[in-house]
Structure 1
Amino acid sequence: MLAAGLFTGPAAGENTGENRVFGTLESGNSAVLSGAGSAASTAARLLLTAGFEIDSRTLFDQPGGRLHVSAMHQTGDNGTRLVGDFQGFSNIDAAGFTAITEAWYQHHLLDGRLRLKFGKVDANSEFAYVEHGGGFLQSSPGFSPTILGFPSYPDPATSVNLFYHGKSGAYAGVGVYDGATQAGVATGTRGPSTFFGTPDGLFSVVETGVHHRVTGRPGRVGIGAWRHGGDFDRFGGGRQSSTQGIYLVLDQSLVTGPAGRTRLGLFAQYGYADADVSPVQHHAGAGLQWYGPLTDRPDDSAGLMASFVQFSKAPGAGFTDRGELAVECFYRWQAADWLALQPDLQFIDNPGGRGRPDALIMTLRAAISL
């Protein structure tokens, strides 16, 4: 099971010139309506996030930089034990932890075109994200599950990142991250020691693309490549040093409202990895997110998406089904400035690719802004 999708791009990377303290409490209660693979049929979990950002003007009277520190506490059930799905129907599921999950500093140079970011970073806040996939509870819209050892929730990692944004809308970014999760080390609860020492094996990623407009509607298309320098078990036997893959991402506004605000947005993803070591060789996902679906509810949102993973056919991989399909729909009701409630329905076809029954899952996510 993979957990992802808590981030939708470098919104936290924007230099607002303001200091801020933030916090959220998210709860998710799920019930398997059909297809439970264990005696239990419900799961509940909590995720508390708190942190602060300080502008560099406050720190040392110089513009262009920001310091960010945030911590998380997660507890509760892991929903995958109910249905055995691979992609992860709840993106806040984890084994339970308390940690400083991000602690980074970034600085803008060349009139904001160049951005340097270093420290403990969730890679999904910068790479492989789709903005219009950010409202879904399914993990795969966060990032493609073909990306092995991606340093994202619940295991951000020490890193160095560099980004360039051109005047024409083109952009490029590169990051080098501690890849110790491949060796079983939980980087989310650790500092930088494994970035500089054992176990070795760095995770590197590069992404380039362009922010564009189609008939005046904003969009973005990007292509990325990643490499993990750790050691991997081959399904057919033996070990290999390093593996790599590619991914594609697309965000496109289809309908805009007043002030150019997106009303209907489309996202699409594709990922590829080496089937000799990766459980998933191909991944494809797409969906729609509708912002303000009711005229008197501008802060509500709704979404519909599908995500498919094709499992490795390599001898020894152990999959009996070709792939797993997840379909999700949700409605997010912004009940108050500080409270959002999101009923969510997912159907999982061939969960886990090993002959388990198809599953229908209902989840109620509640988010409180502290």
Structure 2
Amino acid sequence: MVSCTSVAADFNQQFSIINDNSWLSGFEDQASQASRALFTWDWQLETGPQWLVAGNLKAFRGRNGELLTGNVQGISNIDAEHFSKIYELYLQYKFTDETRLKCGQVDANLEFAFVPVAGGFISPPLGITPTAIALPTYYDPAASCSVFYEPAQGFQWMAGLFAGQDHTNFSSQFMVAEGRYVTAQSRTSYGYWHHHGDWTTLNDLQLRAISGWYLNHQQQVSDQITLFAVWSGLNDDVDVLHQHRMLGLVWELPVAGHQLGLMHSTVTAQDRQSEQMIEGYWQWAVTPQVQLQPVLQWVHHIDPALDHSLVATLRLMTQF
């Protein structure tokens, strides 16, 4: 007699809306304001302790906020041209509690080159550093396979291979490898990426591959305050950007559900001109499903002929 034990599938889903309304200081016409929203439906199906199938749909509507300032680093991590698509769709297998394999259409920046404590900032560089120009991330994820070794503390290792052409074609490849050292109070990440494909340098030379690197660190200095730093570089002259540096802090206020953030980000061009951005935000969890976030950003443009920009944004996040 053979006994069989069935494992019930566990299905979870969540719908979320991020709405950004931005105003450029010093102007009063319609062109100085941008309202837009990103709609996301996330779902995941666990068919046991090892297998996970997950994905999400995304749609962006509204005016692209990049048009307000035209700066290199952007002003909002949801800005894009209008799109509606199956954003991610992947299969994950856990060999152990510490080791997993993930294959499918994936946003690489959700696993590589990110600083967890900086997730409250809305500036795009707080997600992916702008010198990693080939990383498949918002709003064009790519087909991939990645492997992860992630013990709760100590050394962690991960690597991924992504389709480097049209996000589905592996005739050119994007490869990234990252090592981390994690403690109860800190996290340090070092990564190297390499894109094999056809590239043209700024002086019209042809390259078969480009590469770059990044280094992130976050340090909890008290129960309320965490500091972070980012440093990255592009090894090849295929883009105006050369290096990226960032410093910041996140302060969990004594009042539950309230958080402050402040950061300074600098990108340097090949000609040593630089663009600087300062962002400060206050995040307020009005309810478990609703968050309100006023944000103020100051931009010193890489083009010296442009005046400084001051942008105010009100972000509303809802999920259910």
Could you say which TM-score interval applies, normalised by the shorter chain? over 0.9
The separation in 1 between residues aligned to 2:121 and 2:14, in whole angstroms, is 22
Match of 2:59 in 1: 73
1:247 is the counterpart of 2:214? yes
1:176 is the counterpart of 2:147? no
Q: CA deviation at 1:334?
A: 1.0
CA contact (8 A) 2:277 2:298 kept: yes
Q: Which of the residues 42, 51, 68 maps onto 2:42?
A: 51
Higher fraction of helix:
1
The separation in 1 between residues aligned to 2:152 and 2:307, in whole angstroms, is 51
Q: CA deviation at 1:56?
A: 2.2
CA contact (8 A) 2:257 2:286 kept: no
Q: CA deviation at 1:275?
A: 4.8
Match of 2:3 in 1: none
Q: CA deviation at 1:201?
A: 1.7
1:340 is the counterpart of 2:291? yes
Q: Could you list the structure 1 runs, at least 4 aligned residues long, displaced by more than 3 angstroms after superposition.
A: none
Amino acid at match of 2:19: S
Q: CA deviation at 1:113?
A: 2.2
Match of 2:232 in 1: 271
Match of 1:311 in 2: 269
Corresponding residue pairs, total:
312
Unaligned runs of 5+ in 1: 1-16, 58-62, 188-193, 257-262, 314-320
Match of 1:281 in 2: 242
Q: CA deviation at 1:220?
A: 0.6
Match of 1:100 in 2: 86
The separation in 2 between residues aligned to 1:166 and 1:123, in whole angstroms, is 20
Amino acid at match of 1:239: Q
Q: Which of the residues 25, 28, 37 maps onto 1:33?
A: 25
TM normalised by structure 2 equals: 0.92
The separation in 2 between residues aligned to 1:346 and 1:116, in whole angstroms, is 39
Higher fraction of strand:
2
Match of 2:130 in 1: 145
Q: Deviations over 1:306-341 (max 9, x none)?
A: 11000122xxxxxxx711000000001111121111
CA contact (8 A) 2:100 2:147 kept: yes
Unaligned runs of 5+ in 2: 1-8
Higher relative contact order, chain-length normalized (CA < 8 Å, sep 6+): 1
Q: CA deviation at 1:145?
A: 0.6
Q: CA deviation at 1:237?
A: 1.6
The separation in 1 between residues aligned to 2:200 and 2:217, in whole angstroms, is 32
Q: Which of the residues 136, 154, 161 maps onto 2:121?
A: 136
Find the residue that maps to 1:153 and give its secondary structure. coil
Q: Which of the residues 277, 287, 306 maps onto 1:356?
A: 306
Q: Decide whether aligned partners of structure 1 residues 360 and 177 sit closer, same or farther in structure 2, where only a CA change above 3 A counts.
A: same
| Deviating more after overlay: 17-26 vs 98-107 | 17-26
Amino acid at match of 1:114: T
The separation in 2 between residues aligned to 1:362 and 1:68, in whole angstroms, is 35
Q: RMSD in angstroms over aligned alpha carbons?
A: 1.9
Find the residue that maps to 1:353 and give its secondary structure. coil
Q: Decide whether aligned partners of structure 1 residues 253 and 35 sit closer, same or farther in structure 2, where only a CA change above 3 A counts.
A: farther
CA contact (8 A) 1:34 1:361 kept: no
The separation in 1 between residues aligned to 2:133 and 2:241, in whole angstroms, is 9
Match of 2:174 in 1: 203
Find the residue that maps to 1:40 and give its secondary structure. helix
Find the residue that maps to 1:201 and give its secondary structure. strand
Amino acid at match of 2:295: D
Q: CA deviation at 1:240?
A: 1.3
Q: CA deviation at 1:278?
A: 2.4
TM normalised by structure 1 equals: 0.80
1:223 is the counterpart of 2:214? no
Q: CA deviation at 1:41?
A: 0.5
1:117 is the counterpart of 2:102? yes
Percent identity reads: 30
The separation in 2 between residues aligned to 1:275 and 1:358, in whole angstroms, is 29
